[in-house]
Amino acid sequence: MEINPFSRIISGTMTWGAWGRQFSTSQMHALIEETVALGIHTFDHADIYGGYTTEAEFGRAFQQSSVSREAVQFITKCGIQFPCEARPVPVRHYDYSAAHIRMSVENSLRRLRTDYVDLLLLHRPSPLMDAKSIAKEILKLQEEGKVKQFGVSNFTASQMQLLQKEIPLAWNQLEFSITHESSFFDGTLDHMNVHGIGAMAWSPLGCYFKENTPQKERVKQVLLPLCETYTCSEDQLLLAWLLFPPASIYPVVGTTSAARLQKSLEATKITLKITDWFLLLEASMGNPLP
């Protein structure tokens, strides 16, 4: 069995470029080195980030850094055809044809200035997926050494089963947080545990810091006293809640602040009491468990 190479906290790059902070090459270079120095050595990408520009900006910055390629892991995703200046398609859609997968991987390798990606994910499920065609192309890319591991993102149990008939899946990256906990109950995580598919969580803090909703207020009433109990911040406790289950969920943290990345790492050392974990779950759901 292959040893999991990924850091317990994964650095998400979606907002590093045009879709967020618009960092210069030197700023990205500095953040890469700071992130790795903290002990976070896995970087999460997607071809569409920044309208197909962020991977190339990251690749330039990484090439100028002192970090070796062997010391880090690159995750990327493909499949979404995103209408923008770089790709003027008439409608947002998903393409998992062999030709598009091949083109996407070759483009990501060129932009990231690397010979391989450690993990390739299909970004979102498509009703037009042809499992046999996808598997055939992915296996070719793996044989060529261009893709180390293969997985999916935002797939349900049945959608994973469709692909698993033809090719093993290593990971599924899901929207998962205290405010988006449905994967605990809809069979997705159960299926992944049974089949040895690792779990990554995008938006691991959910909408807690983004929206004022009744759900957020319920969670906050429970969370703030617990922060005092565990001597930590709200974001740290939300990550600790996500890290607690035996499913071993790997958060993809989107912050561009080295200080907040450090706090995220410190959250891995917090061990909740089982009753506190369920108190937060109950607050999120708005009613007691059956």
Domain membership of residue 253 (yes or no) is no
Domain membership of residue 186 (yes or no) is no
Structural domain containing residue 89:
10-169
Do 238 and 223 form a contact (C-beta atoms < 8 A)? yes
Domain count, the chain: 1
Domain membership of residue 252 (yes or no) is no
Task: Band the pLDDT of 1: cuts 50, 70, 90.
Answer: very low
Percentage helix, strand, coil for the chain under 3-state DSSP, each rounded to 5: 45, 15, 40
What is the C-alpha separation between 193 and 162, in angstroms, rounded?
Answer: 17
Domain membership of residue 273 (yes or no) is no
**Average pLDDT value over all residues in the chain:** 96
pLDDT score of 269 more than 90? yes
Domain membership of residue 274 (yes or no) is no
Domain membership of residue 214 (yes or no) is no
pLDDT score of 65 more than 80? yes
Domain membership of residue 226 (yes or no) is no
- The CATH number of the domain holding residue 55 is 3.20.20.100
Q: Which of 49, 52, 96, 208 is catalytic?
A: 49
Do 272 and 241 form a contact (C-beta atoms < 8 A)? yes
Q: What Rg value do the Cα atoms of the chain yield, rounded?
A: 19
Q: Phi-psi bin for 39: left (phi > 0), alpha (psi -120 to 50), beta?
A: left
pTM: 0.97
Name the pairing type of β-strands 80-81 and 93-94: antiparallel
| 85-100: pLDDT as tens digits | 999 999 999 999 999 9
Cβ contacts of 181 within 8 Å, gap of 6 or more: 281, 284, 285
pLDDT score of 131 more than 70? yes
Q: Is 49 a catalytic residue?
A: yes
**Beta strands of the chain (E only): which ranges?**
10-12, 42-44, 73-78, 80-81, 93-94, 117-122, 147-153, 171-175, 198-202, 249-253
Domain membership of residue 261 (yes or no) is no
